[in-house]
Amino acid sequence: MRQSLVIGNWKMNGSLGLTSELLHAIEDAIDDKISCEIGVCIPFVYINVAQQLVKQTAIKVGAQTVSEYQSGAYTGEVSAEMLAEVGCKWVLVGHSERRTLFNESNLLLVEKVLAAQAARLVPVYCVGETEADYKSGVTFDVIKEQVEALLSNQAVDLDQLVLAYEPVWAIGTGLTASPEEAQKVHAFIRGLVKEKNIKSAERLQILYGGSVKPDNALSLFGQRDIDGGLIGGASLDANAFISICQKA
Ligand code: PEP
C-alpha cells in the first residue's frame, strides 16, 4: 500500500510574511483526518525560514528546481547539496513551466534527477502533454518519451523518486483530466516502470497535477494509480490545501 502524498507548488509567489502565514495556517489546520505526507515546494530564498517553521510539524519542505551541477562557476544556480543542507526533502524536476519557459530538455532533466538523488533528495519528475498533443491524440507517446528518458538511464534510482503526471492544458486553467482519463495515464506510467522493476513500480508514488481543487480531489485520488497530488494555485490557500490533503 502506497502512502498518499500531497505537494504544494507555490511557484514564484509569496513573501517572507506569506511564507510564515501560510505555513502556520496549514499547520493549525492539520488534524487527525490527515494521513498523507505533506510537502511544500517553495522559492529558494524562503526555504531556510520555512524549514525552521515546520520543524515540529508533519509538513516537509522542497524546492522547485535544482542545478544539474555539483558546484562551481554557475552563477545564479543552486545545487542539490545546498538544498539538502537546508533541509529539503523533495525537488520538482521538469515542471512544464521549466520545460517550456526555460527550455529544459529530457536529457537535462535526467541530469537534474541524478544530481538530486546524489544529494539524497527525492526528485519529483513531472511529465505531461500539451493541449496540442492531447487534441491530436498523442498523449501516451509524449508521456512515454518523457518517462523513458528517465528509465533508460541505469543510474536513476527508482526507489528514490516520485513521478507527477500534469497535463499542461490543465495547469492553472481550471480544466482537469477526468479521473478515468488520469487513471489511464497513471496506469500507463506505472506499467512503463514495471518493465524495469516490478517492486519499484508498485512502491512508486505517482501524483496528479492540474487544477486540483477541494471539489475534484476526492474523485481523482480515488483512482487506483493516483497516489496524491501536485497542487499549484490551491496550495496558496491554506484551507483549500488542507481540504485537498484530507481527501488524499
Ligand atoms: C502546478 O503548477 O504544478 C499545478 C498543478 O498548478 P495548478 O494546480 O494551479 O493547476
What global pTM score does this model have? 0.97
State residue 34's pLDDT score.
Answer: 86
pLDDT tens digits for 88-110?
A: 999 999 999 999 999 999 999 99
State residue 77's pLDDT score.
Answer: 98
Q: Which atom of ligand 1 is nearest to the CA of 173?
A: 10
Q: How confident is the model at residue 220 (pLDDT cuts 50, 70, 90)?
A: very high
Q: Cβ(172) to ligand 1 under 6 A? A: yes
Q: Are 70 and 37 in contact (CB under 8 A)?
A: no
State residue 224's pLDDT score.
Answer: 97
* C-beta neighbour count of 45 within 10 angstroms: 12
Please tell me what DSSP assigns to residue 125. Answer: E
Q: Cβ(216) to ligand 1 under 6 A? A: no
Q: Which of 146, 132, 150, 161 is nearest to 99 (CA)?
A: 146
3 state SS of 158: coil
Q: Cβ(233) to ligand 1 under 6 A? A: yes
- Give residue 92 CA to ligand 1 midpoint distance, Å: 12
The residues assigned a catalytic role are 95, 166
Sequence-distant (6+) residues with CB within 8 A of 76 are none
Q: How confident is the model at residue 5 (pLDDT cuts 50, 70, 90)?
A: very high
| Mean pLDDT across the chain | 96
State residue 29's pLDDT score.
Answer: 86
Q: Which amino acid is at 239?
A: N
